[in-house]
Amino acid sequence: MAGRLTGSDVLGRFIIADAQVLDANGISVAAAVGNNAALTIGGALADGGSVTNVGGRIVTILSAGNDAAKSFTVVGTDVNGDAQTESITGANAGTATGSKYFRTIASITAVGNPAGDVSAGINTAVADVIFAGRTRLQGINLVCSGTAGNVEFVNTSPNGSSLFKLGSVASATVTRDITIPDNGLLFTGGLYINYTTATFGSMTAFYA
């Protein structure tokens, strides 16, 4: 949520970190998949045939056989809530990893005939949006967690250019208050964050 601070043009965006750990079959458990058929979205992360993540998450496809000549089409939404599709090339008895961040996952469909059982899940990379337009980052209040790491502030999209990194401390009782001088740090195409799951507890980002 975002709300205007009284008497100021600065807005605050409050984000609760995605604490869901890596789950290699959280979207779809290992099962045979027919030629050009859809995986069953019924893993531990699924509800009613789809997956809704706290933050944007990267999809992984685990193949028991050689699916290097196959691909898997993921359909859902991005961190802005816009429709998003990604084609992930399969792996040879291993894990194939996408590059786009999905807030929701509605379907995953094989393109071709998988050689063996296939499962789908998420890795530990997370992304979220602070503001999807030109803005300046003014400051950050970060509540740390039990795991230290970096929060990366990126321009234009979760896959855009990194402009700033903020380190967290491995302590749930520590907060970090950062004020960016002058007029703040300019993000010309939108202000997004990337982090590893559970790197922090919550964050308020101030922008204008």
Query: How many structural domains comprise the chain?
Result: 2
CA 133 to chain CA mean position, Å: 18
Whether 91 and 141 map to the same domain: the answer is: no
Whole-number pLDDT of residue 29 = 98
| Domain end among 107, 123, 139 | 123
Terminal CA-CA length for the chain: 15
Whole-number pLDDT of residue 5 = 46
Whether 117 and 135 map to the same domain: the answer is: no
Whole-number pLDDT of residue 1 = 45
> In a 3-state reduction of DSSP, which class is residue 141?
strand
Write out the residue range of the structural domain in which residue 33 sits: 23-123
Residues 54, 58, 62, CA angle at the centre, nearest 5°? 125
Whether 119 and 188 map to the same domain: the answer is: no
Whether 27 and 51 map to the same domain: the answer is: yes
Whether 108 and 169 map to the same domain: the answer is: no
| Domain end among 123, 140, 155 | 123
- Residues 96, 90: contact at Cβ < 8 Å? yes
Whether 29 and 105 map to the same domain: the answer is: yes
Whether 154 and 66 map to the same domain: the answer is: no
Whether 36 and 7 map to the same domain: the answer is: no
In 67-160, at which residue ranges do the beta strands (DSSP E only) sit? Answer: 71-77, 83-89, 95-111, 118-131, 135-144, 150-155
Residue 144: CATH number of its domain: 2.60.120
Whether 157 and 93 map to the same domain: the answer is: no
Q: Show pLDDT as tens, one digit a residue, over the chain (208 residues).
A: 455 445 579 999 999 999 999 999 999 999 999 999 999 999 999 999 999 999 999 999 999 999 999 999 999 999 999 999 999 999 999 999 999 999 999 999 999 999 999 999 999 999 999 999 999 999 999 999 999 999 999 999 999 999 999 999 999 999 999 999 999 999 999 999 999 999 999 999 999 9
Whether 117 and 89 map to the same domain: the answer is: yes
Whether 32 and 110 map to the same domain: the answer is: yes
| Domain end among 93, 123, 153 | 123
Whole-number pLDDT of residue 6 = 57
Whether 85 and 37 map to the same domain: the answer is: yes
